[in-house]
Amino acid sequence: MTEHETIFTWGAPPLKFGAGASDEVGFELSQYDVHRVLVLTDPGVLASGVPHRIAESLTRYGMSFEIFDGVHVEPTDDSMNKAIGYATEQGPWDAFVAVGGGSTIDTAKAVNLLTTYPGELMDYLNKPVGNAQVPPGALKPLIAVPTTAGTGSESTAMCVLDVLSLRVKTGISHWRLRPTLAVVDPLLTMSLPPEVTAASGMDIVCHALESYTARDYRSGQRKQPEDRVTYCGSNPVSDLWCEKAMTLLAKSFRTAVRDGGDVRRYGLRQRRGAHPARQRLSHRRAGQRLPPGRLPFGRGDGAAWAGRVPHRPGGVPLHLRRRPRAAPAGGAAAQPADARP
């Protein structure tokens, strides 16, 4: 008789949350033996001045820094290799700070890994695309400062990229990639245009729904400890976060899109940014072939779900019901969750 899984794993980095939290990055890194810091960002975020402001907080604690602004939105193996090459040539570095969206944070994870343990991206990419090599030891401190609220990359243990030659989206997944600290400052999203806020919000919706309706962690065969992956399936801990994410969105999403300057709803909007509902997500697009005109994560996810979920005229999902959970062999089937309005 096949033995079914009975163990799930859950993890998230420490979180510093609140208006002005990004001004304390220097203090946080001063708690480590850090002297040189590489700040990673993209040209758009750099133009906002936020990366320089954060970098200046490092100097107040005796640290030097450089800013790399060559992050590619929706990173590829080519863009990540360029970032890794820059960091290698200008290094060594004692720590890294990622300021931006998921693309920047994911790039920083890859840079941290490949500068700490030099090699090729293919060594670490998930199978069957890469060799799924395990990082041999601890990485350098990495502080993630998200400027959007959609990806949750500041809390996850993986980085996602497009492999151009194969036209697939895959990634590197290991708990050592998880940032040392997530610094979530709602004020950094105040100036986002409505279309970016909408895309980020739909990204949250899709991550929460996909996670909430994923297969139960007990539905597969029992794995050896070394074979358990970061994303293990639906489990009681991340269920709580998924429900909370959808509840917060129902209260604040429309307001966030309509009025980007409404400070009152920012605590609701970005609390999801570092919460770990994403910790059990098995993303339906991971490993899929990329169309020539692919959409950004949030926008593409929203388009995909728009045709799947029944809506009231106001746009609120109707009768969202989780599928019955698979039961271990010989056990009684679990009951489906109650219908949710």
Domain of residue 157, CATH code: 3.40.50.1970
Which DSSP letter does residue 287 get?
A: T
pLDDT at position 75 is: 96
Q: Are residues 215 and 129 in the same domain?
A: no
CA distances to 90, 119, 171, 212 from 123, in Å: 23, 7, 11, 32
pLDDT at position 291 is: 40
Q: Are residues 35 and 71 in the same domain?
A: yes
Average pLDDT over residues 226-235: 82
Q: Are residues 141 and 282 in the same domain?
A: no
Domain of residue 127 covers 15-189
Q: How far apart (Å, rounded) are the C-alpha atoms in residues 317 and 210?
A: 14
Q: Which of 84-93, 221-230, 238-247 holds the top average pLDDT?
A: 84-93
pLDDT digit string, tens, across residues 60-69? 999 999 999 9
What pTM does this model have? Answer: 0.81
pLDDT at position 322 is: 54
What is the DSSP annotation of 197-265?
HHHHHHHHHHHHHHHHTSPBGGGSB---GGG--S---B-HHHHHHHHHHHHHHHHHHHHHHH-TT-GGG
- Residue 324 in any domain: the answer is no
Number of domains into which the chain is organized: 2
- Residue 312 in any domain: the answer is no
Q: Are residues 134 and 278 in the same domain?
A: no
Q: How far apart (Å, rounded) are the C-alpha atoms in residues 15 and 5?
A: 30
Q: Are residues 205 and 274 in the same domain?
A: yes
Picking from 189, 206, 230, the residue at the C-terminal end of a domain is: 189
β-bridge partners, 212: none
Least-confidence region, from 84-98, 110-124, 262-276:
262-276
Q: Are residues 182 and 218 in the same domain?
A: no
- Element containing residue 268 per DSSP (H, E): helix 266-271
